Structure 1
């Protein structure tokens, strides 16, 4: 692999114009394909769960209940909402929404049984679209949001709204997180390189990689059915990983040039060494994230596939487009001061201290990690509700108004579907008995009479909990209804085993349960594949196993940080969140997949340089010290940059984005500072020569993936032999370029 990467880099850095033109053509072609392919269809189904069975019944018999909904909330401080002027304003708003093209059902708040608050100050109308939720786009919801906002304040009536259609159609925020992350990355790259050109090439290479990943996602979204949220995850992950990969390769290129290699040879060697590390690290990240497929939930699995595609894009860009950029800027990438790219004396001293007392280093590092991880014992999965939206936002206003008027449970109604098959009238008495049992259950505020579908094959009961959607009491109520109330009320009747609870809360509760049940299989799959790839890369048994163990510590630390901030409220106000917010059910598996993969990135970067020094003849401890001096600064800055990119996403108004950004950002910092720069060097020192031991039988059956390209037998010889086969010009018609091949490492 190293020789192949070297040849590609040598060619692209030499013929850089062709390389950049080719990249431009590829991006245009992908853009064209994405336009033809169309957008993805979001699949939020959770096969085999009770809530999915309820949704299936709705889709078959009452499509509006399985579609997308919105609740439009009207409130007045002057008089009552039923006063003529206020009532006219309400009806005008609903008429505007009704006039929108999509087929919908709108309830009349002023009709008998309509939704008017006891004090007469508030009216609410439910709007249900019969369209398939997976087909809804932002352009479908945006006119609804605009209609609501345009009517707000008329005749003294405040108009707000919440629901899936409002979430979909809400105005998109400016990419503040991305811009802040890039700004911090620029500063840190400048501090590391002390070169505007090196900073520019690194950042440009990473951004082109992110763009390539987004184009690949756009082209593959329709065929693979990738969810729209995949683009957000892909941007976050692609930006962080892309900068790290470009940073590693550009840093190695400058190091090789400073040692006397020609630009073409330096590009080849940086690709054969750092490029090979990028391939291994990228593959591990892609395997870890794509491992989400084993969860068995289409939405989560396809999120993983989308993120893996994005990482593949930045890896491909780092090995191709970045090499062409290096060729284009080679005159300015050569360090003016060769001392600036020499091994770091500070990290050499740090390596000596960490390895002098390895057991102490390991103990201190593990203790700190366990402190961060401690809150994970309080982890509670659930779905944050609109009460966590920023104050003043459309959804938050509607949520607060409904909670004040009808109780917090009105924002999370249970929609109970009863399969009546032979006809609802035949089992009306059983349905009435069921409704009374539900209404009498502790924690239920009210339960509406059963409503049969038009075809009589299904009946629906709406039940409103007393507690808010995200409260643990609501989850407990759902369990009581499913385990006790409904089975007891339907026992011995035709409804037995045919009553299912749907709605937002049951869907997310079922999602959480399914994720938890598949988590062990997922973890074993990700760890197994990652360890296998590391064994092939390092020809070592102990290093991959120990790496996997400490990566688990990093993941637990991430969980602990997220729980501490969002559930326990420690520093929650600093990230614009409330306390006692349950952790979104798919966040733990996403964090595990991404963090396990990214932690292996830094693991590969560090150990490849340690192994390199060991193969050069260093004793185990000296190889760690020398490896730290060569790569420690790069790992530190790469970690700081990636953490900054992730933490910048805390500025997202959505609490899910905040959880992802905070969890990933702080976990990367913790991993780099305590695992990669303290624990890992100490462990390798303790293992000694055994660190690079592999049983003979395993060595023979596994392919050899070298990460030390300049040590591959014949690399320098190969570069020299290819010299005459390559055009001696500099790639753009200039003067011949002097070739020197140096193997001084």
Structure 2
């Protein structure tokens, strides 16, 4: 791997325009495919084996009029009543929107101030372009606005319309400030941003192409952007940092780029592969829509990783020594040493020496702090936020509130009972309606609707509680046990979200076990130790636990509602902890490998555990701190978005990286490694004999091979 990366890096630096041409061709192809073949983003909550999916499948086959997606147009008069003529005109115009099959007669609230038009589509939610539909509804509702009515839009199709652009831009700007402070060179700071930007653009184009062939969630691009920007900049940072150090050591530009790509670039490949491996654990969730979020993120991570080891070397070759500050370049031109004359140990090294001198107090204190931060996890309540959790600036939230005020909270989350009358033991539908109507927690039951063949019936059940209320979950469970059978299935969006949450909760431990196990085995291979990987896995679990604790306190308990822009406590989205765990475990392993590889290298050289820890922190502390600061800045930028699930992930991942780079890497890791001493690297003899040799952290040093007629430019490993 080192030889290959050396050749790629030095070749790109020596012939940068060839690399640019290849990337330009790749970008044009990706964008062209996205424009010509790209599909639209859709939310598909079908989960094999669940009751809600069984209900949906029955309706698609036997009752297509009620199997398509739904949306709502809400008209509200501040004072007085909604004029029937206006509602009828809006209904007529909405009926002309693409894929709209029918618009039900306006339901008017008892006070006459609110009218709701329920819109049924002839395709499932996966076949509706939510953004285009929202714009079409806005245009169709013009007569209502002209009449002085407030018009809001929501429902299954329009509740989850995500906008991109602002968070990405803010993330790039914050990362640029940090890079400029770290490098002291505008050009050096700009290179990681350029590489991450190109990688993200190509990656998102490929995600759009993927959406043509399978369902990609509407939220997937934002999650992929958040992670892709962070890792793209960090991976480029590692290589640029190594290259700058080698230039200061006197290496020529092309040779330095080749070596940086062979060493730091190899770490990048390992880091990216670790993240991808962790994302693969999401395949065990059993939720196709959720798995595709991981696929979209994995595409962006893979492209950014590739750009870091191919495109970046070409940029570094063109930049030459300009990646160094002007003052340093002037000193080099005058023949003076470009390195600072001071021999003072870096701050991270001085701190490492202090922590190593007092390992027990710091180990105990840091562990207790992490345990306190993670304690709220035991009170976590997984749920599914809906439009009622969105900020009041959202039209979906305003529509939700108007429906709740006019018709009751349960009107925002009706349930569907799908009855297959051909099944043995199918109930009498009129008796079923009476039974369900008398069930505690049910506000209303619609008249029975039969399909043309009269072999399938549908009843719409309006709960007395809102979609997020625990009472609604209890009602769904009660209906499934009391009236559910092979012939009766309980579905609808609320029931589907409930099944989505339950499936993720049931598979959470399977995903966690797979991710932790795979990462542990990978670290055993890298460091040829059992103790260090086990300790790394436990510490990563603590940092992730601290992030989960912060989410519970800030969102579920409402401690952060004032500065997070929340109206009150909200449930923790069920997919957030599972997805965060897979991503964060991969990212924290990056820092772990970067630090431990340097510690192990020093330990093998000296055999001194304490000194190896201090030297490891001293040599990697600045880079890890800069990389972590960039990650935190990017995640904070996304935490400022109004979309609740993105905000939740941004906050949680920012906290996790901050805790991991400070409490864990600077305190707990050095303290415990000093206490364990040489036992950090213990490996059973039998395992040492069967494990293949690997140098995945890029520790192999490359030098140019002697020039011979047969192999003019081959590097050699020594």
State TM-score, norm by structure 2.
0.93
Answering whether residue 186 of structure 2 is matched by residue 199 of structure 1, we say no
Pair 64,551 (structure 1): closer, same or farther in 2 beyond 3 Å: farther
Answering whether residue 647 of structure 2 is matched by residue 649 of structure 1, we say no
Answering whether residue 373 of structure 2 is matched by residue 372 of structure 1, we say yes
Tell me which of 133, 153, 156 is aligned to 1:161. Answer: 153
Where does residue 9 of structure 1 map in the other structure?
9
The CA distance in 1 between the partners of 2:342 and 2:296, in whole Å, is: 36
- Residues 590-649 of structure 1 show CA distances to partners (whole Å, capped at 9, x for unaligned) of 011111111111111211222232233362211111111111011112111101101111
Where does residue 598 of structure 1 map in the other structure?
587
Q: 5+ unaligned residues in a row in structure 2: which ranges?
A: 329-337
Answering whether residue 139 of structure 2 is matched by residue 147 of structure 1, we say yes
The CA distance in 2 between the partners of 1:665 and 1:165, in whole Å, is: 30
Answering whether residue 235 of structure 2 is matched by residue 238 of structure 1, we say no
Where does residue 91 of structure 2 map in the other structure?
94
| Paired residues of 2:41 and 2:129 also in contact (CA < 8 A) | no
Where does residue 331 of structure 2 map in the other structure?
none
The CA distance in 2 between the partners of 1:387 and 1:437, in whole Å, is: 30
Q: CA offset at residue 528 of structure 1?
A: 1.5
Q: CA offset at residue 27 of structure 1?
A: 1.4
SS of 2:72's equivalent? Answer: strand
The worse-fitting range, judged by mean Cα deviation, of 206-215 and 367-376 is 206-215
The CA distance in 2 between the partners of 1:21 and 1:372, in whole Å, is: 49
The CA distance in 2 between the partners of 1:11 and 1:343, in whole Å, is: 37
SS of 1:616's equivalent? Answer: helix
| Paired residues of 1:451 and 1:459 also in contact (CA < 8 A) | yes
Q: CA offset at residue 241 of structure 1?
A: 0.7
Pair 680,700 (structure 1): closer, same or farther in 2 beyond 3 Å: same
Where does residue 45 of structure 1 map in the other structure?
46
State TM-score, norm by structure 1.
0.90
Where does residue 264 of structure 2 map in the other structure?
274
The CA distance in 1 between the partners of 2:709 and 2:246, in whole Å, is: 19
Where does residue 474 of structure 2 map in the other structure?
476
The CA distance in 2 between the partners of 1:647 and 1:674, in whole Å, is: 19
| Paired residues of 1:261 and 1:742 also in contact (CA < 8 A) | no
Where does residue 636 of structure 1 map in the other structure?
625
- Residues 481-514 of structure 1 show CA distances to partners (whole Å, capped at 9, x for unaligned) of 223x325xxxxxxxx4321111122111111111
The CA distance in 2 between the partners of 1:153 and 1:94, in whole Å, is: 14
Tell me which of 423, 430, 433 is aligned to 1:432. Answer: 430
- Residues 403-461 of structure 1 show CA distances to partners (whole Å, capped at 9, x for unaligned) of 111111110111111111279xx977x22222222222221111223222222121111
Answering whether residue 102 of structure 2 is matched by residue 105 of structure 1, we say yes
Answering whether residue 457 of structure 2 is matched by residue 459 of structure 1, we say yes
| Paired residues of 1:254 and 1:341 also in contact (CA < 8 A) | no
Pair 340,176 (structure 1): closer, same or farther in 2 beyond 3 Å: farther
Where does residue 291 of structure 1 map in the other structure?
281
Q: CA offset at residue 140 of structure 1?
A: 4.4
| Paired residues of 1:412 and 1:469 also in contact (CA < 8 A) | yes
Q: CA offset at residue 706 of structure 1?
A: 0.9
Q: CA offset at residue 246 of structure 1?
A: 0.8
SS of 2:147's equivalent? Answer: helix
SS of 1:164's equivalent? Answer: coil
Pair 710,719 (structure 1): closer, same or farther in 2 beyond 3 Å: farther
Tell me which of 639, 646, 650 is aligned to 1:661. Answer: 650
Answering whether residue 288 of structure 2 is matched by residue 333 of structure 1, we say no
SS of 1:580's equivalent? Answer: coil
Pair 100,378 (structure 1): closer, same or farther in 2 beyond 3 Å: same
Pair 456,158 (structure 1): closer, same or farther in 2 beyond 3 Å: same
Where does residue 335 of structure 2 map in the other structure?
none
Q: CA offset at residue 307 of structure 1?
A: 1.2
SS of 1:165's equivalent? Answer: coil
The CA distance in 1 between the partners of 2:341 and 2:590, in whole Å, is: 24
Where does residue 58 of structure 1 map in the other structure?
59
Where does residue 682 of structure 1 map in the other structure?
671
Where does residue 414 of structure 1 map in the other structure?
415
Q: CA offset at residue 100 of structure 1?
A: 2.1
Where does residue 360 of structure 1 map in the other structure?
361
Q: CA offset at residue 142 of structure 1?
A: 3.4
Where does residue 510 of structure 2 map in the other structure?
521
SS of 1:320's equivalent? Answer: helix
SS of 1:329's equivalent? Answer: helix
Pair 281,71 (structure 1): closer, same or farther in 2 beyond 3 Å: same
Pair 100,702 (structure 1): closer, same or farther in 2 beyond 3 Å: same
The CA distance in 1 between the partners of 2:707 and 2:696, in whole Å, is: 21
- Residues 661-684 of structure 1 show CA distances to partners (whole Å, capped at 9, x for unaligned) of 111111111111111121122222
Answering whether residue 553 of structure 2 is matched by residue 555 of structure 1, we say no
Where does residue 579 of structure 1 map in the other structure?
568
Answering whether residue 172 of structure 2 is matched by residue 182 of structure 1, we say yes
Q: CA offset at residue 323 of structure 1?
A: 0.8
Pair 403,417 (structure 1): closer, same or farther in 2 beyond 3 Å: same
Q: 5+ unaligned residues in a row in structure 1: which ranges?
A: 110-114, 488-495, 728-738
- Residues 135-182 of structure 1 show CA distances to partners (whole Å, capped at 9, x for unaligned) of 2224541343322553443223222221123246x5x64522112111
Equivalences, count: 706
